[in-house]
């Protein structure tokens, strides 16, 4: 049975690759973009399957209207893909207030609002898949991307908590966390550089130079990522977090080792703050419930 997808940021990057792959597979797509005319070639090829929707994801009224019009058009939404987003590289203290807000509004607040708009329909269906396109930057922090990564870390936490909340309703939520992919992300990340600040040459400056040089060639193939996301939407038990690309896997493995070493080093300090009569949390009823080992 064919599915109905709602994909934000369908006109470029991973969103475009996914939209093309979903349509080629015969599913229907509400393809949203700031400029829907960029989807005209797909409308010509798949006139009965694609529904182009004008959407600024930071405009709540447009979000509600886009979701409602999709329901009116197709009758349901089976798969939501929150893909729209962009990055800005710079030192944390150099960002303007507007730049901070735009990063958080687009990369965190918008996916939350769109998810909230779609959930009532999925709840009534007692089924649905939500793919939050996060980033390796939602698992491992790096200089120059603090605001972007604050949003992506937040999106990962939202996804993990929401997944536990809606699983009994037949809704599965996954944080998709790509490393570098051969899209135009690096170019968009260079559009609005905050001004350089003395002292950050070896941290922020190095990363900015990497992305702006044109020499960075990511490992990831967008077409392969699209195929994986389609398989994910059909998997009976999809993961809560899914890394995409060898770069992402290597970075998380390295970060996990460092975090575990730090945890072990500071464990006596961490546990020293327990009350004298405290019992092992993992052995309490509440603890077992938290960790899914019992009631």
Output the DSSP codes for 202-219.
IIIIHHHHHHHHS----S
Tell me what the mean pLDDT of segment 119-131 comes to.
98
In this predicted structure, the answer to whether residue 219 has a pLDDT above a threshold of 80 is no
Task: Say whether 102 is catalytic.
Answer: no
Task: List strands edge to edge, sheet with 50-54.
Answer: 50-54, 28-33, 4-7, 79-82, 128-133, 171-178, 241-244
Tell me what the mean pLDDT of segment 9-20 comes to.
91
Task: Say whether 3 is catalytic.
Answer: no
Is the distance from CB of 185 to CB of 140 less than 8 angstroms?
A: no
The domains of the chain are located at 4-244
Cα–Cα distance, 183 to 42 (Å, whole number)? 19
Tell me what the mean pLDDT of segment 182-204 comes to.
74
Residue 287: what pLDDT? 64
In this predicted structure, the answer to whether residue 286 has a pLDDT above a threshold of 70 is no
Residue-by-residue DSSP string for 24-82: HTT-EEEEEESSGGGGHHHHHH-TTTEEEEE--TT-HHHHHHHHHHHHHHHS---EEEE
Q: In the chain, which residue ranges form alpha helices assigned H by DSSP?
A: 13-24, 40-45, 60-74, 97-104, 110-125, 146-166, 185-188, 206-213, 222-234, 246-271, 285-291
The total number of residues shown for the chain amounts to: 295
Closest C-alpha to 177, from 139, 135, 228? 135
Average pLDDT, the chain: 90
Domain 4-244 has CATH 3.40.50.720: yes
Buried b (16+ CB within 10 A) or exposed e, 231-269: ebbeeeebeebbbbbebbeebbeeeeeeeeeeeeeeeee
Residue 118: what pLDDT? 98
Active-site entry in 10, 17, 134, 135: 134
Tell me what the mean pLDDT of segment 51-66 comes to.
97
**What are the beta bridge partners of residue 294?**
none
Residue 77: what pLDDT? 98
Residue 221: what pLDDT? 84
What is the Cα 163 distance to its own chain's centre? 14
In this predicted structure, the answer to whether residue 189 has a pLDDT above a threshold of 60 is no
In this predicted structure, the answer to whether residue 6 has a pLDDT above a threshold of 90 is yes
Active-site entry in 148, 175, 200, 208: 148
Residue 278: what pLDDT? 84
Q: Which residue has the higher pLDDT, 145 or 283?
A: 145
Three-state SS at 1: coil
Residue 294: what pLDDT? 47
Contacts of 251 (CB under 8 A, 6+ apart): 136, 139, 140, 179
Active-site entry in 152, 175, 200, 208: 152
Measure the CA angle with vertex 251, ends 250 and 253; round to 5°: 65
Task: Say whether 134 is catalytic.
Answer: yes
8-22, 50-64, 183-197, 264-278, range with the lowest pLDDT: 183-197
Residue 193: what pLDDT? 79
Give the best-scoring range by mean pLDDT among 131-135, 183-187, 204-208, 288-292.
131-135
- pTM of the model as a whole: 0.90
In this predicted structure, the answer to whether residue 218 has a pLDDT above a threshold of 50 is yes
Closest C-alpha to 210, from 152, 143, 148, 140? 143
Q: Give the model confidence (pLDDT) of 233-249 as tens digits.
A: 999 999 999 999 888 99
């Amino acid at each position: 049975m064919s599915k109905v997808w709602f994909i934000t940021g369908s006109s470029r990057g991973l969103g475009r690759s996914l939209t093309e792959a979903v349509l080629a597979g015969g599913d229907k797509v509400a393809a949203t973009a700031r400029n829907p005319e960029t989807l005209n070639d797909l409308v010509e090829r798949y006139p009965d399957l694609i529904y182009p929707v004008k959407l600024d994801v930071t405009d709540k009224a447009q979000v509600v209207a886009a979701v409602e019009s999709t329901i009116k058009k197709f009758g349901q939404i089976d798969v939501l893909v929150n893909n729209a987003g962009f990055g800005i590289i710079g030192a944390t203290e150099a960002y303007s207030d507007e730049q901070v807000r735009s990063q958080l509004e687009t990369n965190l607040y918008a996916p939350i609002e769109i998810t909230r708009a779609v959930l009532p329909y999925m709840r009534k269906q007692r089924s649905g898949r939500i793919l939050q396109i996060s980033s390796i930057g939602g698992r491992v922090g790096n200089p120059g991307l603090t605001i972007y990564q604050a949003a992506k870390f937040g999106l990962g936490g939202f996804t993990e908590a929401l997944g536990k909340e809606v699983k009994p309703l037949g809704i599965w939520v996954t944080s998709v966390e790509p490393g570098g992919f051969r899209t135009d992300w690096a170019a968009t990340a260079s559009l609005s550089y905050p001004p350089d600040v003395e002292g950050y040459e070896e941290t922020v400056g190095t990363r900015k130079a990497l992305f702006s040089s044109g020499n960075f060639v990511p490992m990831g193939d967008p077409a392969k990522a699209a195929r994986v996301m389609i398989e994910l939407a059909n998997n009976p038990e999809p993961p809560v977090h899914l890394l995409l690309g060898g770069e992402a896997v290597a970075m998380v493995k390295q970060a996990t080792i460092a975090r575990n070493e730090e945890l072990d080093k500071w464990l006596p300090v961490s546990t020293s703050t327990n009350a004298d009569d405290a019992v092992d949390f993992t052995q309490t009823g509440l603890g077992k419930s938290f960790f899914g080992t019992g009631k």
